Amino acid sequence: MFELSNDPHRRYNPLLGEWVLVSPHRAKRPWQGQNEAEDTSSNQPYDETCYLCPGNMRINGEQNEEYHTTYVFANDFAALKPNTPFGEQHDGLFTSQSVQGESHVICFSPDHSKSMAQLSENEIVAVINTWQDLLEKLSVKYPWVQIFENKGAVMGCSNPHPHGQVWAQSQVPSLALRTGKQLLQYYAKEQRALLLDYAEQELARDERVVCTNKDWVVVVPYWAAWPFETLLLPRFPVQHLHNLTVQQSNSLAAILSQITIKYDNLFNTSFPYSMGWHGQVFDGEEHPEWTLHGHFYPPLLRSATVKKFMVGYEMLGEPQRDITPEQAAALLKNQSSTHYRMAREMR
């Protein structure tokens, strides 16, 4: 008998219109590949050599404020510039277009040692409020505003001080366009938002739910490609972060605290990931097909030192994973809601 938990199979990702190969039997193979360095994140609240700590000088010679909550500044090495000249070229198969935009850095806290998993819920609310303020400001000028965080050196983060970024640009990026087309196709057929339906179905099955509260649910999506990938979904209609009520922002802070603590507790390490938010395009139109959602893409596979690589078949064929999403969800769900470092201090 064919079993999803044991046999190779493919799962469809309705957000991108692509398939993911799942090979659960491969999880038993011995690992002889690369091992990453153990977590050596600082326990000190201030680092005089850090470009992001309060009062310190950044690489461009500007000095940070003596900030006490979140702190925002224009990225010193911005990938996008607001004054790029307009222009495009079409020459056979050679097409290009200029892009305008802005890049901002958000320091989550003045404390150099605290990732989001170690912030209080009130401190996470301050991060959410900062995201919301930047969205309101930038969405007036740009059709797409991308909020994201790269956490950990293994994800290419160049500075260990807990921070994220916000990029706004004059064109909607490729993945957002693909997602928008998939959501619109589903809405045209069902007259309902795909992700609201998906959240309801996941809650009803309770096979991949990691944590939930009155307003939000975190699941390992049925089509997850990364080993411990999660999807953060609202349980109510909402198109973007700055549309949340105060209560919904508070409950979002609570579930962000839960999922990031569970990540850290899984391997007793400051769990690396790339995370970010997708919401509706800012084009002046109504978009009932869109539902705000957050993605967490962590690379770790078997331990704090063994990560998943997207190579070979993944680059040439389609995404592939070994442990099933159901197994990953169970492992995350069973983690304590108390951060492992705090648990150590309490002993």
Which residues does the annotation place in the binding site for Zn(2+)? Answer: 50, 53, 112, 161
Is 14 in a helix, a strand, or coil?
A: coil
DSSP 171: S
Strands (E), the chain: 9-13, 18-22, 71-74, 88-91, 94-97, 101-107, 144-151, 163-169, 209-212, 216-219, 230-234, 273-278, 293-297, 300-303, 306-307, 320-321
Is residue 72 in a domain? yes
Is residue 107 in a domain? yes
Question: For the chain, how many structural domains are there in total?
Answer: 1
Can you read off the two tokens belonging to residue 124?
A: 């996470």
Give me the tens of pLDDT residue by residue for the chain, a chain 347 residues long: 888 888 999 999 999 999 999 999 876 655 445 555 556 566 899 999 999 999 999 989 999 999 999 999 999 999 999 999 999 999 999 999 999 999 999 999 999 999 999 999 999 999 999 999 999 999 999 999 999 999 998 888 889 999 999 999 999 999 999 999 999 999 999 999 999 999 999 999 999 999 999 999 999 999 999 999 999 999 999 999 999 999 999 999 999 999 999 999 999 999 999 999 999 999 999 999 999 999 999 999 888 888 888 999 999 999 999 999 999 999 999 999 999 988 887 77
Q: Which residues pair with 14 in a beta bridge?
A: none
- What is the pairing mode between strands 230-234 and 216-219? antiparallel
Which residues does the annotation place in the binding site? Answer: 50, 53, 112, 161
Is 306 in a helix, a strand, or coil?
A: strand
Residue of 47, 80, 79 lying closest to 64 (CA atoms): 47
Is residue 173 in a domain? yes
- Could you give the residue ranges of the DSSP H alpha helices within 243-324? 246-267, 313-316
- Which residues belong to the active site? 163
Is residue 205 in a domain? yes
Is residue 30 in a domain? no
pTM of the predicted model, to two decimals? 0.94
CATH number, residue 224: 3.30.428.10
- Please answer whether residues 270 and 149 qualify as being in contact, where contact means their C-beta atoms are separated by less than 8 angstroms: no
Distance (Å, rounded) from C-alpha 77 to C-alpha 167? Answer: 12
Is residue 6 in a domain? no
Is residue 259 in a domain? yes
- Please answer whether residues 142 and 282 qualify as being in contact, where contact means their C-beta atoms are separated by less than 8 angstroms: yes
Is 143 in a helix, a strand, or coil?
A: coil
Domain range for 271 is: 40-82+89-346
Is residue 134 in a domain? yes
